[in-house]
């Protein structure tokens, strides 16, 4: 993609998603994700007028003179966008590829965050962490994130959600607002998710296509596995084939819902031909 085309795409997404974040999501985001309140800063000697309830009795006993704990209000939040860039994201049969819906949702969330003067960071993953952009503030930073979401070419096409969660857990030492965006065509990540969910405010956003869950009766069809690159001849007229395909898709969707719920995390599921705006707003209102 040449620079002119890339900038045109970035501008198009910026206009659409900034309008959403300005008029719809800004207030909802602010009321849903509040500051962390008071956090410990230091211990210092007692001064006349200090609240005696703030006295640190352990330190006071050690030095034989009164010391108090000092707290400061912690307003700033950090949002981490953890985005799946594996091969299955380049699939869509209705409105657009899942990748583009994911990009729009991520951009909307990012603009909502910077409206509230919060930092935004990005992790792109396949079966490995493909790119990490540390959290920063500002419009130019969000535009860089959008550019990466549009044009980044991953080394691998496969998926490993657990690896992305482990990386997040290692780099984010303070509590963050985490949005993980994927079609969640993977399992075996519940244990890692529980560890991350105990520390961070996590939401999984599952973006899927209707044909991720059902295949139509089209007879014998050559199908490409976007993650392995292998081609398979599939008899879609077989009821057993269609039933097995659907059962596996529903199993992964149930695993997603159950794993996130058990980990104390939130979930949103939106199909590419549905309004993700309505889904996000409903989620924010319930969470707030």
Interval 246-282: pLDDT, tens: 999 999 999 999 999 999 999 999 999 888 888 988 8
**Residues 63, 26 share a domain:** no
Write down the pLDDT at residue 27. 64
Q: Please tell me the distance from the alpha carbon of residue 192 to that of residue 161, in angstroms, as a whole number.
A: 9
Closest CA to 80 of 208, 253, 204: 204
Confidence tier at 124 by pLDDT (50, 70, 90): very high
Q: Is the dihedral of CA 107, 102, 159, 228 positive or negative?
A: negative
Domain count, the chain: 2
Pull the structure tokens for residue 87: 């091969």
Could you report the per-residue pLDDT of 32-68, keeping only the tens digit for each?
A: 776 555 566 688 898 888 888 889 999 999 999 999 9
Q: Supply the range of the domain harboring residue 184.
A: 3-33+76-287
**Residues 244, 197 share a domain:** yes
Non-local (6+) Cβ contacts of 58 within 8 A are none
Q: Please tell me the distance from the alpha carbon of residue 63 to that of residue 173, in angstroms, as a whole number.
A: 32
89 has a pLDDT exceeding 80: no
**Residues 281, 139 share a domain:** yes
Rounded to whole angstroms, what are the CA distances from 147 to 85, 114, 170, 229?
Answer: 14, 17, 25, 26
Cβ contact 99:140 at 8 Å? no
**Residues 194, 92 share a domain:** yes
Kindly report the pTM of this predicted structure.
0.79
Q: Is the dihedral of CA 241, 259, 20, 174 positive or negative?
A: negative
Q: What is the CATH number of the domain that holds 114?
A: 3.40.50.410
| DSSP3 helix / strand / coil % (the chain, rounded to 5) | 45, 25, 30
**Residues 182, 70 share a domain:** no
Helix spans in the chain (H): 3-20, 26-32, 57-63, 98-115, 139-151, 161-171, 190-199, 210-213, 239-262, 276-287
**Residues 151, 70 share a domain:** no
**Residues 241, 101 share a domain:** yes
**Residues 267, 126 share a domain:** yes
Count of residues making up the chain: 288
Could you report the per-residue pLDDT of 181-237, keeping only the tens digit for each?
A: 999 999 999 999 999 999 999 999 999 998 888 888 888 888 767 667 778 788 888
Cβ contact 287:177 at 8 Å? no
**Residues 101, 26 share a domain:** yes
**Residues 251, 195 share a domain:** yes
């Amino acid at each position: 993609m040449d620079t002119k085309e890339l900038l045109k795409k970035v501008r198009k997404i910026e206009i659409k998603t900034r309008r959403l974040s300005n008029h719809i999501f800004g207030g909802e985001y602010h009321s849903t994700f509040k500051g962390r309140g008071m956090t410990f800063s230091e211990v210092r000697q007692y001064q006349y007028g200090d609240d005696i309830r703030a006295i640190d009795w352990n330190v006071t006993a050690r030095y034989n003179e009164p010391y108090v704990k000092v707290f400061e209000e912690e307003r700033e939040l950090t949002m981490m966008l953890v985005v799946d860039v594996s091969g299955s994201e380049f699939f869509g049969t209705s409105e657009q590829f899942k990748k583009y819906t994911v990009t729009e949702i991520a951009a909307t969330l990012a603009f909502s965050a910077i409206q509230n003067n919060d930092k935004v960071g990005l992790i792109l993953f396949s079966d490995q962490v493909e790119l990490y952009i540390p959290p920063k503030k500002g419009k130019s930073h969000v535009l860089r994130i959008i550019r990466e979401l549009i044009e980044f070419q991953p080394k691998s096409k496969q998926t490993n959600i657990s690896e992305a969660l482990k990386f997040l857990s290692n780099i984010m030492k303070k509590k963050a607002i985490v949005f993980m965006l994927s079609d969640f065509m993977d399992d075996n990540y519940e244990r890692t998710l529980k560890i991350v969910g105990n520390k961070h405010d996590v939401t999984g956003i599952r973006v899927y296509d209707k044909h991720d869950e059902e295949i139509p009766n089209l007879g014998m069809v050559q199908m490409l596995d976007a993650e392995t690159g292998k081609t398979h001849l599939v008899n879609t007229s077989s009821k057993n084939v269609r039933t097995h395909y659907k059962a596996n898709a529903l199993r992964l969707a149930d695993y997603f819902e159950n794993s996130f719920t058990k980990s104390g995390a939130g979930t949103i599921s939106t199909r590419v031909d549905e309004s993700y705006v309505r889904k996000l707003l409903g989620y924010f209102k319930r969470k707030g």
